[in-house]
Amino acid sequence: MATTYVEAEAEAKARTLAANADAKIAVRDAETDRKIRAAAAEADLEARRIANRAAEREAKSTAKSAETTRKTEARRTRRAARAARRTAAVARVTAYVAGNMPGVYSAGIYAMALYVAVSGQIGVATDRGWPIAIGIGMAAFLEGTALAMALTAHQQRLKGERALTPRIMTWVAAGFAAAINFGAHADDMIMAAVLGSSSLAAIVVWEVRSGAKHRDALRKLGLIPDPPERFGWRRWVRYPRSTFAAWSLDVRSRVGTGAAALLATVEADRAAAEATAKAEHDAKAAEKAARQDAIKLARSEAKAAKAAKEGKTDASKQDGPVKPPRARTGTAKAVKRNADDATLVARLRTLAAETGTAVSINRARTDLKVGTGRAKRLLSLAADSSFTVPSAD
């Protein structure tokens, strides 16, 4: 069936409209799809942003938590270290106090005595209307002078000096401070006695404790002797004589190093003087014995000559041979002893010439095989230049 123009045109328009509608639909679909993809991309980006922010928050929270934990641990460590230091300090103080109880207690007593004395000195100034600064200065002057002198004396003693001047000035200053405290409060005798004794007690405690603390050092320097020996009252009662002798020996020998050296020098000088005196006495005795022996020898020789002369006279008077008179035993022994002495003296002089030194008594006894007395007498004869040894002829 033939299509009319109108129908064809209407069909063309309808196709055009359909094509346009399809194109619009396609455009709208494409736009919708683009929007959907854009929305999906935006949603994905937002989700990523949210995830990143959450991750950042988590990281910050973790870092903050870690920092908080670190700071907490650091604070705990510092607290533990401070507690350990406090514990160690308390332990050191406790150990020091336990091991040095006398010193700690003495330091406390010294501080309290000094506080009382200084309070009294300040009270003396304020009662007279003086400024408090003058009172403090006066207390420091009066109480501090004694301590300054005590410290100076202690330092000099550790260097080996006697330190008499600072030690004397220590007690002069302490006595002056005590007198000021006592005299200023004389209207109340109890208060005066307490304040005066506090000025003395402070320096007494210082002197006693410093001496006890450095006693070993002073003993090593030889300034003080070792502690004395104790014998006990039972021994004193039962054996008084021997105990007294032992105590006297301990007193004699228990001295410092310097004093011991001086005493040793004195003993050596005394021993040398006694040895010299004994040697002089022995020499005089030997010389006297030698003179007596020489006199006896001369007398015996004179008697022998006289007897020989009388024997010759009697023999000339008689006709026949006459038996010579018998020599007395004592004279013969003396002559023999003198001859032996001359021989021994010659040996001593020869020995002295060979050695170039004087022969000692012990060597004379050993070489000559004689006693001590005879050795001394022979040495004196050998030293006497007037004594001559007879020749062999």
Reported as a single tens digit per residue, the pLDDT across 147-175 is 899 889 888 887 878 788 999 999 999 99
User: Angle 257-317/372-383 helices, nearest 10 degrees?
Assistant: 80
Distance of CA 359 to CAs 118, 282, 294, 312, 349, Å?
A: 79, 15, 22, 45, 9
At residue 18, the pLDDT reads: 81
Residue type, position 23, single letter: A
At residue 315, the pLDDT reads: 53
Q: How far, in Å, CA of 178 to CA of 118, rounded?
A: 11
Residue 392 pLDDT greater than 50, yes or no: no
Q: How far, in Å, CA of 79 to CA of 113, rounded?
A: 39
Residue 189 pLDDT greater than 80, yes or no: yes
Residue 316 pLDDT greater than 80, yes or no: no
Residue 27 pLDDT greater than 60, yes or no: yes
Q: pLDDT band at residue 143, thresholds of 50, 70 and 90?
A: confident
At residue 179, the pLDDT reads: 92
Q: How far, in Å, CA of 208 to CA of 212, rounded?
A: 6
Q: pLDDT band at residue 312, thresholds of 50, 70 and 90?
A: low
Average pLDDT over the chain, rounded to whole? 81
Token couple for 382: 């050998």
pLDDT digits (tens, 9 = 90+) for 340-387: 777 888 887 887 777 777 777 777 777 777 777 787 788 878 777 666
pLDDT digits (tens, 9 = 90+) for 81-92: 999 999 999 888
> Which range in 12-26, 75-89, 288-302 is most confidently predicted, on average pLDDT?
75-89
Q: How far, in Å, CA of 101 to CA of 111, rounded?
A: 15
Q: Which residue has the tokens 């006592």?
A: 182
Residue 336 pLDDT greater than 70, yes or no: no
CA-based nearest residue to 373, from 272, 259, 286, 276: 286
pLDDT digits (tens, 9 = 90+) for 218-242: 777 766 777 788 888 999 999 999 8
Q: How far, in Å, CA of 141 to CA of 139, rounded?
A: 5
N-term to C-term CA, the chain = 214
For residues 116 and 193, is the Cβ–Cβ distance under 8 A? no
For residues 338 and 297, is the Cβ–Cβ distance under 8 A? yes
Q: pTM (2 decimals)?
A: 0.46
